[in-house]
Amino acid sequence: MNFETVALDDKNSALVIVDQTRLPGEVVTLRLTRQQEILDAIRTLKVRGAPAIGVAAAIGLYLAAKSICADSFDAFYREFRAAKEALAATRPTAVNLFWALERMEKVVLDSRELPVLEIKRRLYSEAVAIREEDIKMCRAIGEHGLKLLHDGDGILTHCNAGRLATVQYGTALAPIYLGHEKGYRFRVFADETRPLLQGARLTAFELALSGVDTTVICDNMAARGMQNGWVQAVLVGADRIAANGDVCNKIGTSALAILAQHYGIPFYVCAPTSTIDLNAATGADIPIEQRPDSEVTEMWFEQRMALEGVKVYNPAFDITDNALVTGIITEYGVARQPYGESLKAICEQKSAQE
């Protein structure tokens, strides 16, 4: 794991990413210099994971701004807005994408009296800051989450919320990585995560390379693992968290939360405050991305696995009711019920420190 998931090569005006669609078979680094390449990379999951998408979008928007040839603010801003809207249209659910783009636009609007060249310099600084903040946020999440775990714990994960979904450490995997550094002997059970297999292809890949005891299980085997007493905690990430604590995450997360409650296992959501959307009152206010039918019927198979013409329902995410969530681990600490109060307090703490 001696590669960076998302980086900026400013000298060559490139967004540098690891193509996650090629893992685990091969590690391929892409250097994207055209805006359409960046848009396609986000849309087709070559870069994925809410925090990583936010960082990639910030870098992508900076590179778009860098290429704009305009002397006046109005001409520059017109092209900047078009680039921002194109990036915003790539993925509808992960709020980090919109959070990063709004931060970049605020830099532009706050600098409207400055020369265009200076605006571009400030956009560079903001994109770099967003990336560096992601590293710090994830490490802090890991430190807070590790306090809730014990040496020898069995930990169940879903999808990929590790290094490949962020710049470093990850969100749900950050406590595991920090614990591993300190000598904790965790046993991780990675749900394969149908239909895109992020758990099998990505989580197991990065944990195994890092020396963490990892076992891949099919999604429908989670209950059996819990019955066997193998699981002491469930750690998942989030793509958006509503103000009331409802959690939007990769499809299948809600079922795990229901199982965890049944077996008395703590269910923790690990996410930076940039994932909290106080404008979404409940999970019902979060748009759910619908993915192509072929991901279910054809993507991983030599021949089609469902009869041609059979209808397919393929939502990328589901909503986990806040009543099923034991705690939401952020870089500012752990929010607990009532989430309407604790999440608001954490966001206020963040604002006070900015």
pLDDT at 353: 86
Q: Give Cβ neighbours of residue 37 (< 8 Å, ≥ 6 apart).
A: 30
Asked about 239 being catalytic, the answer comes back as yes
Reply yes or no on whether the pLDDT at 184 is more than 80: yes
Domains, the chain: 6-138 (1.20.120.420), 141-353 (3.40.50.10470)
DSSP H/E element including 3:
none
Residues 56-67, mean pLDDT to the nearest whole number? 98
Longest dimension (CA), the chain: 67
Predicted confidence band of residue 4 (pLDDT cuts 50, 70, 90):
confident
- Is the predicted pLDDT of residue 354 greater than 80, yes or no? no
Give percent above pLDDT 70 in the chain: 100
Q: Is the pTM of this model over 0.85?
A: yes
For the stretch 228-250, what's the b/e string if a residue is b when 16 or more beta carbons lie within 10 angstroms of its beta carbon?
eebbbbbbbbbbbbbbbbbbbbb
Question: What residue type is 27 in one-letter code?
Answer: V
Which pLDDT band holds residue 117 (cuts at 50, 70, 90)? very high
pLDDT of residue 3: 79
pLDDT, tens digit, 9 for 90 and up, residues 251-298: 999 999 999 999 999 999 999 999 999 999 999 999 999 999 999 999
Q: Phi and psi at residue 213, in whole multiples of 5°? A: -60, 115
Q: Is the pLDDT of residue 185 over 80?
A: yes
Inter-residue contact 322 to 339 (CB < 8 Å): yes
Residue of 229, 270, 238, 237 lying closest to 94 (CA atoms): 238
Q: Which of 134, 191, 239, 246 is catalytic?
A: 239
The C-alpha atoms of residue 292 and residue 247 are separated, in whole angstroms, by: 23
243-253: average pLDDT: 98
Q: What is the mean pLDDT of the chain?
A: 97
Length of the chain: 354
Span 1-16, mean pLDDT? Answer: 92
